[in-house]
Structure 1
Amino acid sequence: MAQQFEKLYVHMLPAIDSKKNEFHLYGYPTVTSEAIWTYCVQKKWRKKDILLMRMHEMAHDILHVSSAEFMTYTQIEEQRSSNWFSDINSEELRMLLTSVK
């Protein structure tokens, strides 16, 4: 299945790159083509059968991604994946989470 998504990604690359360039123009220089594709697959099309979508539907969806919805998604995903306690060891974490009497 991932190989089929890769083929779709290559076909949609002109639309994805256009959207990436638009985001760069709006002041989001770190946005990548892969991040836009991941957003569409995981968020925009999560309830759709991507392999049955038509190319013009995919291009339309990609070109109509707003910077606000994309940035909200990336911020939420970053918060979900970050480990807030990665800098402390297990003993420090235990002490932090135990109640003080």
Structure 2
Amino acid sequence: MRTNHRFDSFRYQVQPAIASKLEEFSLLGYGDVKEQELWDYLTTKKWRKSAEDKRIAEIVDDILSVKVGDYFNFATIEAFKGAEFAFDDEDELRELLK
């Protein structure tokens, strides 16, 4: 389960930047991205090793600088982590792992 991130307290204040980024994604044809999914990317990936405190302007800059490809690489990896694969045949598994 996801724990609270120290930047969660800024989420309401930076919501306009998040909305702007989601609108950009939508204009590029990726309108299925939800606000929570983008926030999860930011807190899990972008700010994972953020040791220093950031000013709100830096947080907004991080949000606005998210690239579609970076987000979808993260989303794809997370989807694979959560997926359960079941192989009825050991040979299928070995073939996949070659």
Equivalent residue runs for 1:10-21 within 5 Å: 10-21=12-23
- Structure-1-length-normalised TM-score: 0.76
> Deviations along 1:77-97, whole A, 9 cap, x unmatched?
101111122xx7xxx5xxx34
**Cα root mean square deviation, aligned:** 2.1
Is 2:62 the counterpart of 1:75?
no
Give the CA deviation at 1:53.
1.4
CA offsets 1:29-83 (integer angstroms, 9 cap, x no match): 1101111111011000100147x21101100010000001111110111011111
Match of 1:29 among 23, 27, 31: 31
Which ranges of structure 1 fall in alignment gaps of 5 or more residues?
Answer: none
Q: Cα gap change, 1:54/1:42 in structure 2, threshold over 3 Å: closer, same or farther?
A: same
Count of aligned residue pairs for this structure pair: 89
Query: Following TM superposition, by how much is the alpha carbon of 1:11 offset from its aligned partner in structure 2, in angstroms?
Result: 1.2
Please give the alpha-carbon distance, in whole angstroms, between the structure 2 residues aligned to 1:73 and 1:60. 19
| Amino acid of the structure 1 residue aligned with 2:45 | K
Higher helix share: 1
In 2, distance between residues paired with 1:49 and 1:66?
Answer: 22
Question: 2:5 & 2:13 partners in 1: Cα distance?
Answer: 13
Who wins on radius of gyration, i.e. which is larger? 1
Gaps of 5+ in 2: 92-98
1:40 to 42, 49, 54: 42
Please report the TM-score for the alignment, with normalisation by the length of structure 2.
Answer: 0.79
